[in-house]
Structure 1
Amino acid sequence: MRTLPLFAAVALVFAPAAFARTQDFAVGPQYDSTHVYVAPQDVEAFVTSFVATFGGQSTKQVVATVTPTPSSTTSQLVQTPVGIVSVFGFRTPVPYPFGQERTGYLVSHVDDAVRAANASGAATLVAPFDDPIGRDAVVAWPGGVNMQLYWHTKTPDYKPLEHVPDNRIYLPAQSADAFVKAWVTFAHGKVESDERAAPASEIGGTGVYRRIRIASGYGKATLFVTDGHVNWPYGTELTGYEVGDLDATLGRARQAGAKVVVDAHDEGGRRSAMVQFPGGYVAEIHAAAK
């Protein structure tokens, strides 16, 4: 039997990991969206309230199949200066595992990005498939963090955000380090802080928890490592939106029919509050502490 030289065998063994390290598929945080699933009858109220709170505008609502198996949903993109949401109002039951992915990240090449995610430690939950305007996949990271990776046939062109939002991820202690390693490798990210004894009062609890903040070409991520004894609404929010004036933003939210479910308080160098929009979507909103 013909054998490979040692260096060639080593190259084959480690090629996937090297691929993940050398390729960066991020396009920019202005193309990354939070996926919001609401009942069809609540879509208009949610969109109106969200835009009134943060500014911006929505694309025209369309009815489409955005899954690889038969389904039907209204779909629209709400673009604000502080982050984007993709809004889905399914008219049919939502096929598994859709509705469990938290974000959609634009990548420069879906199939290669999925392979890089696999090499970094993610599993392919939904293999790449064609949608009406491009190509999508869903990957699952350690700790059960599901994200969509997508690519558009026609390259979008969005202006940079005024403030880049946080992907707020709650993790068990046993998965936190594995998630950080996998995500930082894939995203070419950087751990900006790792506070192992942050006061749990920041997230409505007692004692301490671990808070990790990561930055990458996909934007920001804040990780909350807890024992799972978390009071509602913490853990139900997917995204934290940074604004210039928190009090003014909360005032607009109230006027637009949203509920402030956690009043403004300190959270690691920020003033933070929690808001529930029509349709049930919960968001964290924060501003830098003065």
Structure 2
Amino acid sequence: MIVMGVFDDVIPLSLIPIDDKPIDDCHVYSFREAAAKVVVLKELTELSEIARGCSTKAFIELKGAMTVKGHYPTSMLYEWKQYKRIKKSCRMNPILFPANQTYLLLAVEDGGVNLKEYEIVTMRQAYSIVYQLFIATAVAESRLSYEHRSLDIKNIFISSTSWRETIISNIDGLQIEIPAYGVEVKIAPSSFCRMSKGGSSIYFDWTSNDRLFVNGNDFEHIIRQAMRKINRNVWGTFSPASNILWLTYIINFINNRLKQLQVGSEESRTQFFDHFKPFCECANITEWIHDHIDTFMEAEIVGRLQSRRI
């Protein structure tokens, strides 16, 4: 549900049922899983502050979190019905929740339109989106040993910004300014993610959850199968290769989207694909950025980036 906050800011609210047992035979978040979700959102929000020479503002910001109890709000039931009618949701009908149900209520930043629905209008925007994703993921890896594990096109959001705006991030003490060209990327974290902080790790154990790997030939199922092969079905360990798999999928999606929308010339679309083609073979994202961002700048494919030591 979307509500109007102070100063007319639009703040999405998410109401998540939590219980330590299934509801109507449907799995819901346990209290432990709900607490882990809040921790992940909080830690990703705090990546906006520089620490260990790294920072990014590309993750959806957590505005607030609390637990509430009672009837599912009538207004949100209406919104759910409207969403199901348009999006054909297969999620559990919230009318089935008991009157004393406990929920996790999250208030988060409005990230804009998801990448699946967003219409890229220039080649410069395409490059900017990819490099914003690269840098955000590299920062999360460096600070939190973070794997998204579900970085599909519905978890990437695009909002409009000034054409002359720059997206400022920091990697290894280097400030990097990516030209926005009218687009700012925000990443919604996954419930399936993996991260570490202060000697502790948070992750969703997929070891015995075969339903996530079967009955599908789409990119998401293929990537999950590849992740399981890479980490040998041990989901607590940090495997940055999983982020590379998902980002490669995003590059392919954007490349196909450019063709579909007929953005740029055939030659410029080929240059875009060729620029990122070796990415799937790199060891980690930070290496790619250090090895290729100068080429990205000097070629002026999307304009000159300016970086400086801080």
- The normalised TM-score by structure 1 is 0.27
Is the helix fraction higher in 1 or 2? Answer: 2
